[in-house]
Amino acid sequence: MTEVTADPHMTEARVQALREAINRHNYLYYVLDRPEIQDFEYDRLYRELVELEREHPELITPDSPTQRVGEQPVKEFPQVHHPIPLFSLDNAFNEEELLAWEKRALRILAQEGIENPALEYFAEIKIDGLAVSLVYEKGLFKHGATRGNGVVGEDISQNLKTIRGIPLRIPVNGGPSPDYDVEIRGEVIMTRESFLRLNEEQHLKGKSEFANPRNAAAGAIRQLDSRITASRNLDALFYGATIITEDARRRPADDLQAGLHPTSQQESFNYLERMGFKTNPARKHCWNLSEVMDFIHHWDEARLALPFATDGVVIKIDQLHYQTLLGYTAKSPRWAVAFKYTPEVCETRVLDIEFSVGRTGVITPVAIMEPVLISGSTVQRATLHNFEELAKKDVRPGDAVRVQKAAEVIPEVIEVVLAKRPESANLPVQPPTYCPVCNAPAVKLEGEVALRCPNHSGCPAQVLRRLEHWVSKGAMDIDGVGPALLEQLINRGLVESPTDLYRLTVEDFLTLERMAQKSAENAYASIQKSKEQPLWRLVNALGIRHVGQETAVLLAEHFGSLNRIAEASLEELTTLEGIGGKVAESIVVFFAEPGSQQLMVDLQTLGLRIEDSTVNKPAAGAQIFQGKTFVLTGTLPTLGRQEVTELIRAYGGKVSGSVSKKTDFVLAGEDPGSKYVKAEKLGVTILHEQDLLSMVREAES
């Protein structure tokens, strides 16, 4: 510990020197991965600074390295308006699609009067993390935010500061002129190594494991207590920097002239590095698409050795002035495209084949495997879909299998590696004769491949799955009543059908294991509250075969009451657009089943909302577009014209066909037409789909 000097200037100078030293060592360690001192030496410097700041709190500055972890959890994350919207990227899945992207760029540039431009490219690995945007005001870290809806994100500054590689101040000589504010873009990631370590810890603590590094990073960055975030070992890699000028996409002329501002994506990386940011390491300038393809092929293999997960390559036109000319569609830049890799394949071993019983009694073979990390997540179960498929693939316990998983898609066994089948291998797996859960004789319905347990109301597995579906997010969305709780309720004989849930009392919950008064009351309350859910949720919750969320909305909207849906004939149902013969039949069959009449009576007596004419209409009072006239132009890729029109109407607005002085807003999509030009001329406010959505969201919150 240093002697505390009496001279305040000396103290201040020492504090300053310590900060500089700590920042430098942070940079060497976290950004360059090239530490120059031992951990204990670093700790000594850090402790000295903490001590001095404790004695002289007036010397604490927001960019001091001691300010990285907040001492108090926050209540919520405030919203931030992004200075420049965060767009998404169009995908290309093969070389032809990449060529088509280039062709479009050339066509647009030709329209701008640029014939045969010498396009250069910049290829970067696509980082599979969470997009973040950091804003530095005159060099000082101001805030950092999640992508959110692209226009408005959540302010997660305190959590981002815990990532030591993120500078709290940009050095004056490295970045933009000191008067400028700059926005930095990148991805927050968790390395595979940190992910595996975290999951091991979670497992030891009996907590649930994360499916993949991306989810783990998302969980960590959205913690209200930054001390937890700090313990999760997050990292961040950056790929973009833009000076915030009034017209967000214009580059500052003076900095450009002074050679301070990059003119290409390649230079942007040097710029970022001069400012002290850790950058995407897998990147290359390419003179043509053939070099780009080489890069893509190289990293398809090599990416597996990268410390973080990737799902493709982002290809950008390198020259920033061409980027500016190419501009954006409503949702993505025309100057960039994401090449997506085909899913990763891994080999593992089958430990067992389990028969799982679903909500409708279908028995499905599932391969239980030695855990492997594929496409960023740990996989140990893969459905084999049905017994025909199982016979075809002939997967047996003990077999080596090749497994694949596309990002966000269910893992799948591709094939058995026969050469590796152990000599002692079991015989082919036979379909079960009895339900593995309730022992009822399994049946096969005519014309179906599926094997079923016919014990609809008595099989505990079916009952559980139906209840799980009932409480799920897309159905009645009953918070705090999860699978474990449902299982207990079933085992105690308290619940057999969804309607039983509504008959439970607080005392019933108190009889369960580890259930305190407060949680019992909460579970009871959220079940009761779900009675108010809109009709479409109830229709979806019923679990009618082939009726998902979309059809449920359609039915609720058209009929407005459960009884009317139940009475609808096959003909009437098929007249609805979006409902085919198979779906209609399944609806009719469902309501003709003997138990259905009783169910309808029960739902009504229990007070669930079986009539509802307000589907998708906002609560009265949210008429934010009252008296406003909108004109739509171009393709609206997210919602489509129909939905946008309905949305505007639902909130009190009008949609008209042509632009005039009376038009309040023009909603512009991709390739907008002459209405766009006219709107600009008349000074009518131009919105994009995302703006509309965030206005609506704001009004609703």
Catalytic residue annotation: 126
Distance in angstroms (rounded) separating the CA atoms of residues 326 and 334: 6
Tell me whether residue 25 or residue 331 sits nearer to ligand IVH (CB atom): 331
Cβ–Cβ < 8 Å for 599, 544: no
Between the alpha carbon of residue 687 and those of residues 87, 347, 693, the distances in Å are 15, 49, 10
- The backbone torsions φ and ψ at residue 344, rounded to the nearest 5 degrees and listed phi first, read -75, 145
441 backbone dihedrals φ, ψ, rounded to 5° = -60, 130
Residues whose CB falls within 8 Å of the CB of residue 130, separated by 6 or more in sequence, listed in order: 146, 147, 187, 188, 189, 214, 217, 218, 221
**What is the smallest separation between the CB atom of 276 and ligand IVH, expressed in angstroms?**
19
Shortest gap between Cβ of 638 and ligand IVH (angstroms)? 14
Among 32, 584, 73, CA closest to 278: 32
Buried b (16+ CB within 10 A) or exposed e, 658-693: ebeeebbbbbbbbebeebbebbeeeebebbbbbbbb
**Minimum Å distance from CB 297 to ligand IVH?**
18
Cβ proximity to ligand IVH: between 30 and 328 the closer is 328
- Residue 71 CB, nearest approach to ligand IVH (Å): 31
Q: Which residues bind ligand IVH (CB under 6 A)?
A: 86-89, 124, 126-127, 131, 187, 239, 280, 314, 333, 336, 338
Q: How far is the CB of 304 from ligand IVH (least distance, A)?
A: 17
Residue in the shown chain whose Cβ atom is closest to ligand IVH: 131
Please say which residue, 147 or 405, places its beta carbon nearer to ligand IVH: 147
Structure token digits, residue 393: 């693939």
What's the one-letter identity of residue 49?
Answer: L
By C-beta, is 263 or 499 nearer to ligand IVH? Answer: 263
Residue with tokens 């909302």: 609
Nearer to ligand IVH, 284 or 456 (CB): 284
Residues sharing a CB contact under 8 Å with residue 599, sequence separation 6 or more, in sequence order: 497, 499, 542
Residue number with CB closer to ligand IVH (187 or 412)? 187
- Cα separation, 245 vs 180, in Å, equals 8
Q: Which H or E run contains 266?
A: helix 265-274
- Strand residues in 278-411 grouped as ranges (E): 283-286, 310-317, 336-340, 344-357, 362-374, 377-383, 400-405
Tell me the closest approach of the beta carbon of residue 398 to ligand IVH, in angstroms. 40
Question: Closest Cα partner for 382 from 417, 346, 418?
Answer: 346
Strand pairing category for 235-243 and 665-668: unpaired
Residue 224 or 338 having the CB closest to ligand IVH? 338
Token match 């036109």: residue? Answer: 317
Find the shortest distance in angstroms from Cβ 338 to ligand IVH. 5
